[in-house]
């Protein structure tokens, strides 16, 4: 028997269930990017907000759209849009049924339906989790007009990218003269609200619609946010565990996540759910300090553990972070390099780093290097190069960043030689593989060509040639030596 609304009353009392009747929900939020992260984060906080207090806030149901594939939307619809969140601690798993999605859609299904839903005056909020690469930005945070998906969307009636969908929705709202919803970007992008506003305006300008760009500037709020919860891709154990905990009901699309939950949102005007009902959610005047700490120390260190870890035969973040050598290198990189320009006290930085390393080692979370390693070219500038540049400027060590960049290049070099088993997803994968093919075995030439790509790395680093030589030297060692042996010497 599949999980369904009818099944709710028969599910064991050890499972957390919604405190409201999901049938009574009406939509007030449209979400773009119905993936693991959304289902483990905003959907969970929204469930807490709807259910808080005596009088339930039933008009905050979510219409959630998958962007690339229809499968998940279809599977959720078969389960009345219910699913199980498995919160995995190092010692056990707790199940909750999440019921805040009142409708699931696939963005590619029907003509402009999503833009219409966003333009519907009942939609007060739009949230997005389309990953950093889903905004098609270059290193300076502006829309890349060359990106193929953007080129295609500019000519489409039914847009497929988040930027195209928002553009169409805003055009309708401007025409109708109604109040636009607040747009809340929940991706790991620096100044994510402002960056998204700029990217939609850039899209409007590419469409030759400068007046819409101006209208957006004057009428639409894009608060910045910092989001944090590690939510790996589902594994087959999730389905078995969910069935056991649900007392025999089958959930085809459960998700698992760590217990940690953080959502820091810049204050904005207008109606919204009481998201603070979920512990870890806060409204603040300025998100920057939280965002910078998280993007550099968590997401940046994740990249080091993924790229270097996979080369050393460690395929999950937990394995890499628990490895005595790589775990030590990562902790040092996080605390000493990635804390650059994070304005917290030494004690706060120590505590944050210790919490992060503990979270990374959680054995209940199977977070694959292959996933974290995706789309590195869209993540490099803000997560790695920004702190690296700041460190070079004040004469601080940047060995960890050099190791990370060299490991990233090595992934492409191995791929080009068909010698890396894990798959490689990146919007610039073809160009990067070609660089490796052209400069085969010439590590200096590979490092030079990668680091000259300003759309990925930004302008040249201070003392650029020296930095390139350091990366080239590490790249040669990663290529010619046993990687764990080399890492021992790197310690």
Residue choice 147, 173, 182, 230 for contact with ligand CS2 (CB under 6 A): 230
- To 10 degrees, what angle do helices 324-332 and 346-360 make? 150
What's the min distance (Å) between Cβ of 258 and ligand CS2? 9
Residue among 161 and 192 whose Cβ is closer to ligand CS2: 192
Residue among 124 and 374 whose Cβ is closer to ligand CS2: 374
**Number of neighbours of residue 421 by Cβ within 10 angstroms:** 10
In sequence order, the β-bridge partners of residue 256 are 86
- Which span sits near ligand CS2 by CB under 6 A: 92-100, 158-166, 285-293, 294-302? 294-302
Task: By CB under 6 A, tell whether 44 contacts ligand CS2.
Answer: no
Residue among 224 and 228 whose Cβ is closer to ligand CS2: 228
- Which span sits near ligand CS2 by CB under 6 A: 55-63, 226-234, 406-414, 436-444? 226-234
Residue among 97 and 298 whose Cβ is closer to ligand CS2: 298
- Which span sits near ligand CS2 by CB under 6 A: 53-61, 225-233, 422-430, 449-457? 225-233
Residue among 197 and 371 whose Cβ is closer to ligand CS2: 371
Task: By CB under 6 A, tell whether 31 contacts ligand CS2.
Answer: no
| Structure-block tokens of residue 134 | 């889903």
209 phi and psi angles, rounded to 5 deg? -115, 70
CA angle 14, 18, 24 (to 5 degrees): 150
CB-based closest residue to ligand CS2:
302
Instruction: Find tokens 């490092």 and name the residue.
Output: 447
Residue among 302 and 477 whose Cβ is closer to ligand CS2: 302
CA distance linking residue 384 with residue 270, whole number of Å = 36
Length of the chain: 491
Residue among 101 and 230 whose Cβ is closer to ligand CS2: 230
Return the exposure string of 51-80: e unless at least 16 CB atoms fall within 10 Å of the residue's CB, then b.
bbeeebbbbbbbbbbbbeeeebbebbeebb
Task: By CB under 6 A, tell whether 228 contacts ligand CS2.
Answer: yes
Is there a contact between 341 and 289 (Cβ–Cβ < 8 Å)? no
User: What is the arrangement of strands in the sheet containing 182-185, beginning at the earlier edge strand?
Assistant: 101-106, 61-66, 27-32, 125-128, 182-185
Residue choice 197, 278, 292, 302 for contact with ligand CS2 (CB under 6 A): 302
CA distance linking residue 371 with residue 303, whole number of Å = 10
Task: By CB under 6 A, tell whether 220 contacts ligand CS2.
Answer: no
Residue choice 133, 188, 316, 398 for contact with ligand CS2 (CB under 6 A): 188
Count each helix (H run) and each strand (E run) in the chain, helices first: 23, 11
Residue among 117 and 383 whose Cβ is closer to ligand CS2: 383
Residue among 153 and 291 whose Cβ is closer to ligand CS2: 291
What's the min distance (Å) between Cβ of 423 and ligand CS2? 15
Residue choice 17, 229, 278, 292 for contact with ligand CS2 (CB under 6 A): 229
Nearest-CA neighbor of 129 among 255, 318, 2, 271? 255
What's the min distance (Å) between Cβ of 82 and ligand CS2? 24
What's the min distance (Å) between Cβ of 300 and ligand CS2? 8
Residue among 52 and 359 whose Cβ is closer to ligand CS2: 359
Is there a contact between 198 and 205 (Cβ–Cβ < 8 Å)? no
CA distance linking residue 237 with residue 239, whole number of Å = 6
Kindly write out the interface string for residues 344-383 of this chain, putting x where it contacts ligand CS2 by CB under 6 A and - elsewhere. ---------------------------xx-----------
In sequence order, the β-bridge partners of residue 87 are 94, 257
- Which span sits near ligand CS2 by CB under 6 A: 224-232, 242-250, 325-333, 477-485? 224-232
- Which span sits near ligand CS2 by CB under 6 A: 163-171, 211-219, 227-235, 238-246? 227-235
Residue among 228 and 241 whose Cβ is closer to ligand CS2: 228
Task: By CB under 6 A, tell whether 299 contacts ligand CS2.
Answer: yes
CA angle 42, 46, 51 (to 5 degrees): 155
| Structure-block tokens of residue 361 | 């080692």
In sequence order, the β-bridge partners of residue 101 are 62
- Which span sits near ligand CS2 by CB under 6 A: 296-304, 318-326, 343-351, 406-414? 296-304
Is there a contact between 205 and 213 (Cβ–Cβ < 8 Å)? yes
- Distance (Å) of CA 195 to CA 40, 47, 140, 219, 245: 24, 28, 10, 16, 41
Question: Percentages helix, strand, coil for the chain, rounded to the nearest 5?
Answer: 50, 15, 35
Residue among 188 and 407 whose Cβ is closer to ligand CS2: 188
In sequence order, the β-bridge partners of residue 94 are 87
CA distance linking residue 262 with residue 264, whole number of Å = 6
Binding site for ligand CS2 (CB under 6 A): 188, 228-230, 298-299, 302, 371-372
């Amino acid at each position: 028997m599949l999980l369904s609304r009818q099944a709710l009353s028969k599910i064991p009392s050890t499972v957390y269930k919604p405190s409201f009747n999901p049938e009574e929900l009406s939509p007030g939020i449209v979400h773009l990017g119905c993936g693991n992260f959304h289902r483990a984060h905003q959907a969970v906080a929204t469930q807490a907000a709807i259910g808080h207090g005596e009088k339930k806030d039933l008009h905050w149901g979510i219409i959630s759209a998958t962007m690339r594939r229809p499968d998940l939307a279809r599977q959720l619809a078969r389960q009345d849009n219910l699913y199980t969140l498995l919160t995995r601690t190092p010692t056990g798993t707790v199940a909750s049924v999440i019921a805040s999605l009142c409708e699931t859609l696939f963005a590619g299904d029907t003509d402009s339906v999503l833009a219409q839903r966003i333009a519907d005056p009942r939609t007060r909020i739009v949230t997005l989790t389309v990953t950093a690469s889903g905004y098609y930005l270059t290193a300076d945070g502006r829309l890349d007009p060359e990106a193929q998906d953007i080129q295609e969307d500019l000519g489409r009636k039914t847009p497929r990218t988040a930027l195209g969908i928002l553009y169409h929705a805003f055009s309708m709202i401007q025409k109708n003269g109604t109040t636009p919803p607040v747009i809340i970007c929940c991706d790991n992008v620096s100044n994510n609200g402002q960056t998204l506003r700029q990217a939609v305006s850039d899209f409007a300008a590419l469409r030759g619609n400068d007046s819409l760009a101006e209208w957006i500037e004057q009428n639409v709020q894009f608060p910045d946010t910092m989001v944090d919860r590690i939510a790996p891709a589902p594994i087959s154990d999730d389905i078995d565990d969910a069935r056991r905990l649900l007392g025999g009901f089958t959930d085809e699309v459960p998700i698992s996540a760590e217990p940690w939950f953080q959502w820091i949102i810049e204050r904005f005007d207008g109606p919204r759910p009481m998201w603070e009902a979920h512990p870890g959610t806060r409204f603040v005047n300025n998100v920057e300090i939280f965002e910078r700490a998280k993007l550099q120390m968590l997401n940046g260190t994740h990249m080091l553990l993924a790229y270097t870890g996979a080369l050393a035969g460690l395929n999950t973040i937990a394995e890499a972070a628990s490895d005595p050598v790589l775990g030590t290198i990562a902790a040092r990189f996080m605390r000493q390099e990635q804390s650059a320009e994070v304005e917290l006290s030494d004690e706060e930085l120590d505590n944050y780093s210790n919490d992060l390393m503990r979270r990374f080692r959680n054995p209940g979370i199977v977070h694959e290097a292959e996933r974290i390693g995706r789309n590195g070219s869209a993540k490099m500038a803000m997560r790695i190069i920004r702190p690296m540049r700041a460190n070079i400027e004040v004469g601080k060590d940047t060995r960890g960043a050099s190791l990370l960049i060299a490991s990233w290049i090595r992934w492409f070099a191995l791929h080009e030689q068909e010698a890396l088993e894990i798959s490689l997803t990146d919007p610039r994968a073809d160009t990067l593989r070609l660089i490796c093919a052209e400069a085969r075995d010439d590590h200096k030439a590979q490092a030079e060509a990668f680091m000259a790509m300003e759309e990925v790395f930004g302008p040249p680093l201070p003392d650029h040639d020296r930095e390139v030589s350091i990366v080239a030297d590490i790249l040669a060692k990663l290529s010619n030596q046993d990687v764990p042996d080399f890492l021992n010497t790197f310690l």
